[in-house]
């Protein structure tokens, strides 16, 4: 049986992951409005990934006879001064999630919750990757500027990222 304080913190993390997903979807809409479909597509893939993260925690609770309790999701910021500002907001979001994962890992260690520790090791590695990826985009935006051909080319590059479900669908089409 999972301890009550662990269950509560996992439920809080589920909310945080869904909140992140919602923020990425709002960013995607903003990029769509700006006719930057590549960035919008990248952010939709990120939205999907955050949903998957929330579901990992949800399923962890179910597997351990815990009870997922879905919480309110706040309206995310939907307007940004520039593409770089949008991705700086995304980096802040990822850093926030990293801090939460570390806090949850510390709790798991204090409570000798080895199954949760194991799950969180994956998330710790994932957050390093997430922060690095977003920082790389910010660095590229600083390099190319936020208008003209540099932004156009970066937008095209961002559009090359696909979500996992899109990749699986394409692989299925290839096998037919």
Give the Cβ contact number of residue 14 at 10 Å.
Answer: 22
- Could you give the C-alpha distances from 101 to 37, 84, 122, 126, 162, in angstroms and in order? 31, 25, 10, 10, 25
Topology of the domain comprising 4-163: Ferritin (1.20.1260)
pTM attached to this predicted model: 0.89
**CB-count exposure of residue 67 (10 Å: 0-12, 13-18, 19+):** exposed
pLDDT of residue 3: 97
Model confidence over 60-69: pLDDT tens digits?
A: 999 999 999 9
Model confidence over 18-71: pLDDT tens digits?
A: 999 999 999 999 999 999 999 999 999 999 999 999 999 999 999 999 999 999
What is the distance between the alpha carbons of residues 84 and 63, in angstroms, rounded to a whole number? Answer: 40
């Amino acid at each position: 049986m999972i301890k009550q304080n662990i269950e509560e913190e996992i439920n809080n993390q589920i909310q945080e992951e869904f909140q992140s997903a919602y923020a990425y979807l709002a960013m995607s809409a903003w990029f769509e409005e700006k006719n930057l479909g590549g960035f919008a597509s990248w952010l939709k893939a990120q939205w999907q990934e955050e949903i998957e993260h929330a579901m990992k925690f949800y399923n962890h609770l179910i597997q351990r006879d815990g009870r997922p309790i879905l919480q309110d999701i706040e309206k995310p910021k939907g307007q940004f001064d520039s593409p770089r500002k949008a991705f700086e907001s995304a980096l802040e979001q990822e850093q926030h999630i990293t801090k939460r994962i570390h806090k949850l890992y510390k709790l798991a260690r204090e409570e000798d919750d080895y199954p949760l520790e194991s799950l969180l090791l994956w998330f710790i590695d994932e957050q390093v990757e997430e922060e690095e990826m977003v920082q790389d985009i910010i660095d590229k935006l600083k390099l190319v500027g936020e208008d003209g051909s540099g932004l156009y080319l970066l937008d095209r590059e961002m559009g090359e990222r696909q979500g996992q479900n899109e990749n699986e669908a394409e692989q299925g089409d290839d096998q037919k």
